Amino acid sequence: MDTLMLSRLQFAAATFFHFIFVPLTLGLSIIVALMETRYVRTGDEVYKKMAKYWGKLFLINFALGIVTGITLEFQFGTNWSRYSAYVGDIFGPLLAIEASVAFFLESTMIGVWVFGWEKLSKRMHATAICLVAFAANLSALWIIIANGFMQNPLGFVMRNGRAELDNFVALITNPFAWNQYVHVLSSAFMLSGFFVMGVSAWHLLRKNEVDFFTRSFKTGAGFAFVFSVVLAVGGHFHGNEVARIQPAKLAAMESHWHTQKNAPMYLLALPDEANQKNSVEAIGIPSLLSFLAFNNPNAEVKGLLDFKPEDRPPVAITFWAFRIMVGIGTLLPLLAFFGWWKANRLAQYPGYLRLMLYAIPLPYLGIQAGWAVAEVGRQPWIVHGLMRTKDAVSPVDPSQVALSLAAFVVVYAFLGVIDIYLLAKYAKKGPVH
């Protein structure tokens, strides 16, 4: 394999692994902050116990989120040095701002929170976790603005053989990025709600600490339900934007080959990329694709055949990832709604509780699929319409990348196993008395 393919695999591995931990960090930090704030307000010790218990699971997850994030900053330089040089004027500052306004705060306050139980006043201690939650979500904003530039480049001019910053306000108010931010954040919050519900369900099935886990479950269910709705609504508007700005991605998401007005959506389709068609196409709902993409049943939706083959994203991955994302995204709000509705009578629904335990991986899968749609669907561009991925890779020897990729796989597998083991162990232990 060449340096390009190896670097792509390495970046994919690093991103997906990083994004196992990030969503839970984003949402659980808020949930823990809510619990501890409630403790400070009411003085009810159960909320303190809740903050400590969920906080411990948060910390195990957080540690891996941080270290795998550092990997990504490194990789832009090590593996994508031509990209770094070409758009560094715009992309670099966003990462630097993220570090100085958000990451510093998050990393400093997490230490305060862990070690400050005995050293700080209740109020200051709760403030520390609120700052962690705020900073983590602010951090995500800057990263997504950076990603938003890759999806929909704005605010730059071509000068001196590279993209140079021209309009900082346009760069950071990129509507594509803000839509994506809402989509990513709501998915992360939903995932965190499902995590809390799933773990609580395990204990409720065993009648452990029923009051503690009922309250936890309720918090998780409310959180998950609200944000699964935001996710679905936001996802629709985000889809409209993709249709307008990245028509090739939209066509790949739907495996839509022929440009047409009143484009139907097929409930059953099977992409056949080699022959540039769908091998199966059935149960078409007339005009639905046009409507979903442009809020107008008569709108014309561009097909893949209207793009030069070298400008088309890989269809199968994008198509299937999109279906996994949407399928899971449709199922989860229903599960969350049921839990929220029946939150006071959960003991009557052991089947549902068992289901919720097994549902923990679903939002993870949905989110990973969502990123695959976003990133694979953007190919062959690293920066949409501006720079191709193949022109972005570092001039390094493939053997170096192969070696580091192998190391990544081994190390990440090792860390992933220990992390899941520890999460499960401390989740099962229950709160400390």
Partner 1 sequence: MDLGTIWFLLWGVLWAVYFVLDGFDLGVGMLSPVIAKNDTEKRILMNAVGPFWDGNEVWLITAGGVTFAAFPGTYAVLFSSLYSALMLLLFSLIFRGISFEFRSKMETAGGRKLWDTIHFLGSFLPALLLGVAFANIFKGIPIAEGGIYKGTLFTLLNPYGLAGGVLFVLAFLMHGALYLSCKTEGALRDRAVKVAEKLWPALLIVAVLFLVFTAVATKLFQNYLDNPILFVIVLLPVGGLVMQRVFIGSRRMAAAWTASAVTIAGVALFGVIGIFPALLPSSIDPAFSMTIANSSSSPLTLKIMLAVALTFVPIVILYQAWVYKTFSHKVTEKDVAYDEAY
Residues 6+ apart with CB under 8 A from 42: none
Site for partner 1 in 158-187 (CB under 8 A): 159-160, 164-166, 168
| Cβ closest to partner 1, residue 90 vs residue 231 | 90
Residue 195 lies near partner 1 (rule: CB under 8 A): no
Supply the minimum distance, in Å, between the C-beta of residue 125 and partner 1.
Answer: 11
Name which position in 111, 175, 286, 361 contacts partner 1 (CB under 8 A).
Answer: 111
Q: How far is the CB of 11 from partner 1 (least distance, A)?
A: 13
* 306 to 325: interface string for partner 1, x by CB under 8 A: --------------------
Binding to partner 1 (CB under 8 A): which residues in 344-403?
394-396, 400-401, 403
Q: Nearest approach, Cβ of 49 to partner 1 (angstroms)?
A: 12
Find the distance separating the first CA and the last CA of the chain, reported in whole Å.
Answer: 55
Task: Please choose, out of 61-69, 244-252, 310-318, 344-352, the segment that lies near partner 1 by the rule CB under 8 A.
Answer: 61-69
Answer positive or negative: Cα dihedral of 75, 77, 81, 85. positive
174 versus 287: smaller Cβ distance to partner 1: 174
Q: Longest C-alpha distance within the chain, in Å?
A: 68
Give how many residues touch partner 1 by CB under 8 A.
71
Span 403-432, contacts to partner 1 by CB under 8 A = 403-404, 407, 411, 415, 418, 422, 425-426, 432
Instruction: Give me the DSSP letters along 16-31.
Output: HHHHHHHHHHHHHHHH
Closest CA to 199 of 334, 28, 331, 345: 28
* Residue whose C-alpha is closest to residue 131's, from 24, 123, 217, 184: 123
Q: Where are the alpha helices (DSSP H) in 284-349?
A: 288-294, 315-341
Q: Write down how long the chain is.
A: 433
Residue closest to 261 by CA, chosen among 288, 284, 237: 288
Nearer to partner 1, 345 or 433 (CB): 433
CA distance 35 to 53: 11
Which amino acid is residue 103, in one-letter code?
A: F
- Choices 39-47, 70-78, 183-191, 194-202; region in contact with partner 1 by CB under 8 A: 70-78
Of 113, 172, 109, which Cα lies nearest the Cα of 136?
109
User: How far apart are CB 428 and partner 1 at their closest, in Å?
Assistant: 13
Instruction: For the beta carbon of residue 208, count every other beta carbon within 10 angstroms.
Output: 14
* Range 71-110, binding partner 1 (CB under 8 A): 71, 73-74, 76-79, 81-82, 84-85, 87-93, 95-101, 103-105, 107-108, 110
The residues in 120-149 that bind partner 1, with binding defined as CB under 8 A, are 120
